[in-house]
């Protein structure tokens, strides 16, 4: 194999697929990236058997071929090289020679034949959607996914695709994020047995796969990608990139029953003022604390925000609030609140409450298109 490409393209490609590389596998090949040169491009592939990514970068190919190289080592080398053309060549012993201006490195690779093939996603259902819509859905929900590996069903986001709409749901039992929107750019381009594909009730996509996908999706309107779903796998494909992931098998919890259907009290606040006050108040809380923050309304139209940390001290903030209903006194996990406030673009948010021990609903206050909805349900904490 002998190929020439821009250092920047190769470095960004290795960095992108390198995030999929397994850091815990006992198989050395899974710490490698597959390089495959053919037909005017260099293909980079990485997998850990659960998530696989495949991207192509422009290249001048003198001799076609393939080899695998250690992702970390190659990434470190490319990251410190000057921004110029890189020449890659491979001998019959899978030794890679990398040259860039006056720099020259030799790296021992492994045979490309030993690298596991990414699964082929065939059948099922295929849809086309705008990248910006999917990116927004992922950003609005993925932070609420559970990190508890013993509850595998909650380590992914329920994703429902239909003609003209898309919905994503995530929960860790302490909070729930639900985002849905009309997707006029979403079209069914191929369809098989929906019952087999599990499309009717949605599929559970691992959060890790969604987060890696969100990194490469564009926020610009008009750019699309295809999603192919079968019973066990999902494939995301756009120009120059594809990502494949296993699906989490099982029935997602009935999230609708935990969403309050009505409220007795309602608070409306400026998003950035609330977020800034919570950030300041949280600074007094140790990392291993319960992250409790107490919200209390005053007769003067203000919201008192307090946080206490034993031997450290106490924080007190006040912001303006518009209140409907009786006075409010409730405690929430401040980190959970900041997670949602950090991703919403709405100028104001509303918190709907029924009681100090009942879940609260946080929503953005914005001019929303018909069919667009986003809500965040938070379980309260005991007030001490």
Q: What is the pLDDT of residues 306-352, one digit of tens each?
A: 999 888 899 999 999 999 999 999 999 999 999 999 999 999 999 99
Question: Is residue 53 included in any domain, yes or no?
Answer: yes
Asked if residue 163 is part of any domain, the answer here is: yes
Lowest mean pLDDT among 81-85, 190-194, 289-293: 190-194
Nearest 5°: CA angle at 245, between 145 and 31?
100
283 and 322 in a common domain = yes
Query: What gap in Å lies between CA 311 and CA 294, rounded to an integer?
Result: 18
Q: Identify the pLDDT of residue 197.
A: 44
pLDDT band at 369 (very low <50, low <70, confident <90, very high): low
Asked whether residue 120 is domain-assigned, the answer is: no
Q: 266 and 248, same structural domain?
A: no
Whether residue 230 sits in one domain with residue 272: no
Query: Are 294 and 211 found together in one domain?
Result: no
Would you say 373 and 180 are in contact if contact means Cβ atoms under 8 Å apart?
Answer: yes
Distance CA 300, CA 336 (A): 27
- Residue whose tokens read 């019973």: 231
Least confident of 11-20, 70-79, 186-195: 186-195
Domain-located, residue 269: yes
Q: Do 92 and 26 share a domain, yes or no?
A: yes
* 31 in the same domain as 99: yes
> Among 114, 133, 162, which residue terminates a domain?
114
Distance CA 267, CA 265 (A): 7
- Give the Å distances, CA to CA, from 113 to 22, 49, 208, 217: 18, 16, 27, 30
Pick 315 or 26 by higher pLDDT. Answer: 315
Report how far residue 323's alpha carbon sits from residue 325's, in angstroms, rounded to the nearest whole number. Answer: 7
Residues 63 and 80 in one domain: yes
Is there a domain that residue 383 lies in? no
Is 166 found in the same domain as 102? Answer: no
68 three-state secondary structure:
strand
Res. 194: pLDDT tops 50:
no
Quote the pLDDT of residue 195.
46
Examine the pLDDT at 272 and tell me if it is beyond 80: yes
The string of pLDDT tens digits covering residues 208-250 is 999 999 999 988 888 899 999 988 999 999 999 999 999 999 9
Q: What pLDDT is recorded for position 192?
A: 53
Tens-digit pLDDT profile for residues 46-102: 999 999 999 999 999 999 999 999 999 999 999 999 999 999 999 999 999 999 999
Domain boundary among 55, 89, 114: 114
Model confidence band, residue 165 (pLDDT cutoffs 50, 70, 90)? confident
Asked whether residue 80 falls in the same domain as residue 166, the answer is no
User: 293 with 265, same domain?
Assistant: yes
Q: Confirm whether 143 is domain-assigned.
A: yes
CATH number of domain containing 39:
3.10.150.10
**75 lies in some domain:** yes
Residue 384 is assigned to a structural domain of this protein: no
Same domain, 36 and 134: no
Give the range among 20-34, 37-51, 65-79, 268-282 with minimum mean pLDDT.
20-34
Tokens of 260: 């309050």
DSSP state of 93: T
pLDDT per residue over 295-305, tens digit each?
Answer: 999 999 999 99
321/90 Cα distance (integer angstroms): 65
17 confidence band (pLDDT: 50, 70, 90) = very high
Into how many domains does the chain fold?
Answer: 3
> What percent of the chain clears pLDDT 70, i.e. is strictly above it?
94
Q: Does one domain contain both 107 and 12?
A: yes
Supply the range of the domain harboring residue 156.
Answer: 125-255
Tokens encoding 71: 């992702």
Neighbours of 81 (CB within 10 A): 18
* Domain end marker among 191, 222, 255: 255
């Amino acid at each position: 194999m002998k190929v020439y490409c821009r250092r920047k393209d190769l470095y960004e490609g290795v960095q992108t697929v390198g995030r999929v590389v397994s850091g815990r596998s006992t198989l050395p090949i899974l710490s490698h990236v597959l390089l495959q040169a053919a037909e005017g491009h260099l293909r980079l592939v990485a997998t850990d058997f659960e998530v696989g990514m495949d991207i192509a970068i422009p290249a001048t190919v003198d001799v076609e071929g393939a080899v695998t190289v250690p992702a970390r080592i190659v990434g470190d080398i490319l990251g410190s090289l000057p921004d110029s053309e890189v020449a890659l060549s491979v001998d019959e012993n899978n030794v890679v020679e990398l040259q860039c201006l006056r720099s020259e490195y030799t790296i021992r690779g492994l045979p490309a034949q030993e690298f596991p093939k990414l699964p082929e996603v065939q059948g099922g259902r295929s849809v086309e959607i705008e990248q910006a819509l999917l990116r927004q859905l992922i950003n609005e929900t993925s932070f609420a996914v559970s990190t508890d590996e013993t509850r595998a069903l909650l380590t992914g986001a329920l994703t429902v695709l239909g003609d003209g709409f898309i919905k994503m749901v995530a929960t860790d039992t302490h909070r729930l994020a639900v985002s849905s929107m009309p997707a006029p750019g979403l079209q069914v381009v191929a369809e098989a047995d929906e019952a087999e594909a599990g499309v009717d009730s949605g599929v559970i996509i691992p959060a890790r796969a969604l987060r890696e996908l969100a990194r490469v999706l564009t926020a610009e309107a008009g750019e699309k990608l295809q999603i192919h779903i079968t019973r066990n796998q999902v494939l995301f494909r756009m120009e120059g990139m594809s990502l494949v992931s296993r699906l989490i098998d099982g029935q997602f919890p009935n999230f609708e029953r935990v969403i309050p259907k009505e409220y007795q009290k309602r608070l409306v606040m400026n998003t950035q003022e609330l977020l800034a006050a919570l950030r300041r108040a949280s600074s007094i809380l140790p990392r291993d604390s319960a992250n409790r923050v107490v919200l209390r309304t005053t007769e003067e139209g203000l919201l008192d925000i307090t946080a206490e940390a034993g031997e450290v001290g106490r924080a007190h903030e006040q912001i303006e609030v518009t209140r409907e209903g009786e006075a409010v006194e409730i405690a929430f996990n401040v980190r959970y609140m900041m997670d949602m406030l950090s991703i919403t673009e709405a100028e104001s948010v509303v918190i709907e409450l029924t009681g100090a021990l009942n879940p609260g609903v946080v929503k953005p206050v914005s001019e929303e298109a018909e069919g667009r909805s986003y809500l965040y349900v938070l379980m309260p904490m005991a007030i001490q």
